[in-house]
């Protein structure tokens, strides 16, 4: 028999164990992550960044309170992430949460720091009202500051935070050269790509006749239009001999939508690339999975723009398992050309991106018929390579035991923003494809893998027919109800049997 004193001893022991466990777990912060994409597990690059922090980093998180559930979840996820950063950095990452909606002074402070509000519809007492919501953060270290103006719910939080810390903590960044002199887009027409690259590199324009290979970590050659001279190819060879990386996005064909025609484009670069082991074909890739163009249509006295599917704008969703393409959902190309790979000893080719299972090529020159009715007979090829990585003996005489590295993409415009009235925002995945490739060529931190680490939709299959989708939808709705009803019937039968046995036992 248990006495009162024994009960109190047990209670005190249980409380002591709970207290000790809390102290221990507070010091040994960890989380169990059962998600398929490990979205709640810090990556190795982040752990390395946090381990190497020398001066304290302060994160001021400006998040509104009393917001819809989805936005509130974003705040909770960000707070959990900051808590883990604090533990992993041995307290070098400190944070605070500020509610900008608390008063006018707090709101002005948030806006002065660069945090921009968004309008969100909220329901209150059966009425819908708009409220300004803040979801941003300011990261500071000494005199350096980086701003995350808006944290998109479901976005890659770890990349945004880790890259910001990396950006303000790294000094003397290696130089990355953007080759100019052949009609290539200037740096200000690559805003999204340049912004992402600035985390690890100092991107500078450079011409091949003034290039000093030792001064640059890597080179980018994007959409040249004018011809190269032999001395410039010699300089590219000299750069590759150092074992550094070269990124090439080339337009082998040119499209004039206004004139509805596509022509060949020759700069001499395509011949140089063939000698390295990759040929950019003189064709246009067409794909049943494609973007659209706006066509003006006249109806009576009215005219309006109508979007029309245009197979010359392939949407690439078929990627190889490679660090460059890891996590990418899609990339939108513009008048891309397919790649082929003539045999070259000592060169390893990795195909990175492909067209869909229903695609084709159209040789240049060609005429664009915007109003053409495309059928399955127009798409007789599949998985045409449009991007590739090459490593190995690309040029004779490589220094030391290293190997040359190059990434080639058969479209030069897919990641350019343009300028003036032609400026546009590009698909973030398209920018990530270019940035990932450049970082893979020139950086070994692995930070690029975080850029596409986010909460994404994971459909059972992208190729389901409408009937199959309808069947799955109704199955998801009715199956749980049916299982509950079946469980209820089984439980009812079991209870009835017990009652019958009980009655029989009483009358025996």
At a CB cut-off of 8 Å and minimum separation 6, what does 263 contact?
253, 254, 256, 364, 365
User: Which helix H or strand E contains 276, and what residues bound it?
Assistant: helix 269-276
Residue with tokens 């080339």: 250
Per-residue pLDDT of the chain (508 residues; tens, 9 = 90+): 456 777 787 888 888 888 887 766 655 555 665 555 556 677 788 888 888 888 899 999 999 888 887 788 888 889 988 999 998 888 999 999 999 988 888 888 888 888 888 887 766 666 667 778 888 999 999 888 888 888 876 657 888 888 888 888 877 889 999 999 999 999 999 999 998 898 889 999 999 999 999 999 999 999 999 999 999 999 999 999 988 899 999 999 999 888 889 999 999 999 999 999 999 999 999 999 999 887 766 666 666 677 888 999 999 999 999 989 987 889 999 999 999 999 888 899 999 999 999 999 999 999 998 888 899 899 999 999 999 999 998 887 776 556 889 999 999 999 899 887 778 888 888 998 999 999 899 876 666 666 666 545 555 555 566 677 788 878 888 888 988 999 888 988 888 888 887 777 655 5
Domain ranges of the chain: 44-165, 173-450, 464-508
Domain covering 44-165 in this structure, CATH number: 3.40.30.10
CB contact at 8 A, 387 and 410: yes
CA distances from 83 to 25, 30, 79 (A): 13, 10, 6
Q: What is the pTM assigned to this prediction?
A: 0.73
Give the CA angle between residues 100, 102, 106 to the nearest 5°: 45
Q: Is the peptide bond before 59 cis (omega within 30 degrees of 0)?
A: no
Q: Which residues contact 279 (CB under 8 A, 6 or more apart)?
A: 270, 273, 339, 340, 341, 342
Complete DSSP assignment for 87-154: HHTTT-EEEEEE-GGG-HHHHHHHHHTTPPPEEEEEEETTEEEEEEE-EEEEEEETTEEEEE----TT
| Domain spanning 173-450, CATH class | alpha beta
Which pLDDT score is estimated for 155?
A: 59
Contact between 333 and 314 (Cβ < 8 Å) = yes
SS3 content of the chain, % helix, strand, coil (to 5): 35, 25, 40
- As a dihedral over the C-alpha atoms of residue 462, residue 464, residue 469, residue 471, rounded to 10 degrees, the angle is -140
Strand partners, 318: 354
Whose CA is closest to 173, among 199, 154, 148, 153?
A: 199
Question: In angstroms, what CA-CA distances link 296 with 9, 283, 293, 302, 312?
Answer: 84, 27, 10, 10, 19
Residue 262 main-chain phi, psi, to 5 deg: -125, 135
* C-alpha gyration radius of the chain: 30
Give me 40's structure tokens: 């709640």
DSSP 323: T
Q: Measuring CA to CA, which residue among 346, 286, 252, 317 is closest to residue 459? A: 317
Residue 306's φ and ψ, nearest 5 degrees, are: -120, 125
Q: What pLDDT is stored for residue 29 in this prediction?
A: 55
| Contacts of residue 299, Cβ cutoff 8 Å, sequence gap at least 6 | none
Residue 455: per-residue pLDDT: 44
Q: What is the three-class DSSP state of 62?
A: strand
Residue 450: per-residue pLDDT: 65
Buried b / exposed e along 242-278 (16+ C-beta atoms within 10 A): eebbbbbbbbbbebeeeeeebeebebbbbebbeebbb
């Amino acid at each position: 028999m248990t006495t009162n004193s024994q009960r109190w001893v047990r209670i005190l022991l249980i409380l002591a164990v709970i207290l000790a466990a809390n102290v221990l777990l507070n010091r040994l912060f960890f989380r169990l992550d059962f998600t398929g994409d490990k979205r709640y597990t810090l990556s190795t690059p982040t752990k390395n960044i946090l381990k190497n922090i020398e001066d304290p980093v302060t994160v001021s998180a400006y998040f509104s309170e009393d917001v819809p559930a989805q936005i509130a979840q974003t705040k909770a996820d960000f707070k959990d992430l900051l808590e883990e950063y604090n533990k992993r950095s041995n307290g070098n990452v400190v944070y605070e949460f500020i509610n900008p909606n608390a008063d006018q002074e707090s709101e002005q402070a948030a806006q002065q720091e660069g945090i921009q509000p968004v309008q969100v519809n909220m329901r209150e007492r059966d009425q819908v009202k708009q409220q300004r919501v803040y979801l941003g953060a300011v990261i500071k270290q000494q005199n350096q500051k980086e701003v995350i103006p808006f944290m998109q719910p479901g976005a890659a939080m770890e990349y945004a935070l880790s890259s910001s810390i990396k950006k303000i903590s790294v000094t003397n960044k290696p130089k990355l050269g953007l080759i100019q002199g052949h009609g290539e887009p200037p740096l200000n027409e690559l805003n999204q790509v340049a912004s992402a690259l600035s985390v690890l590199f100092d991107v500078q324009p450079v011409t091949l006749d003034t290039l000093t290979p030792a001064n640059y970590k890597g080179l980018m050659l994007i959409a040249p239009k004018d011809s190269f001279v032999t001395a410039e190819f010699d300089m590219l060879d000299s750069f590759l001999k150092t074992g550094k990386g070269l990124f090439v996005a080339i337009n082998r064909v040119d499209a004039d939508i206004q004139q509805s025609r596509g022509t060949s484009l020759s700069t001499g670069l395509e011949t140089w690339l063939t000698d390295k082991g990759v040929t950019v074909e003189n064709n246009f890739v067409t794909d049943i999975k494609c973007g659209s163009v706006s066509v003006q249509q006249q109806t009576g006295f009215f005219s309006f723009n109508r979007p029309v599917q245009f197979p010359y704008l392939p949407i690439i969703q078929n990627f190889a398992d490679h660090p460059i393409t890891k996590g990418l959902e899609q990339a939108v190309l513009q008048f891309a050309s397919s790649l082929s790979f003539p045999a070259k000893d000592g060169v390893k080719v990795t195909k990175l991106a492909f067209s869909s299972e229903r695609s084709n090529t159209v040789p240049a020159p060609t005429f664009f018929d915007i109003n053409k009715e495309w059928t399955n007979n127009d798409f007789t090829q599949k998985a045409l390579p449009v991007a590739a990585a090459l490593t190995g003996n690309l040029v004779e005489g490589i220094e030391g035991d290293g190997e040359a590295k190059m990434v080639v993409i058969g479209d030069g415009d897919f990641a350019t923003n343009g300028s003036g009235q032609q400026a546009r925002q590009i698909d973030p995945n398209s920018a990530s494809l270019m940035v990932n490739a450049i970082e893979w060529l020139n950086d070994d931190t692995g930070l690029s893998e975080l850029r596409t680490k986010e909460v994404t939709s994971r459909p059972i299959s992208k190729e389901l027919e409408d009937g199959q989708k309808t069947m799955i939808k109704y199955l998801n709705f009715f199956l749980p109800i049916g299982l509950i009803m079946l469980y209820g019937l089984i439980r009812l039968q079991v209870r009835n049997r017990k009652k019958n046995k009980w009655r029989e036992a009483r009358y025996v």
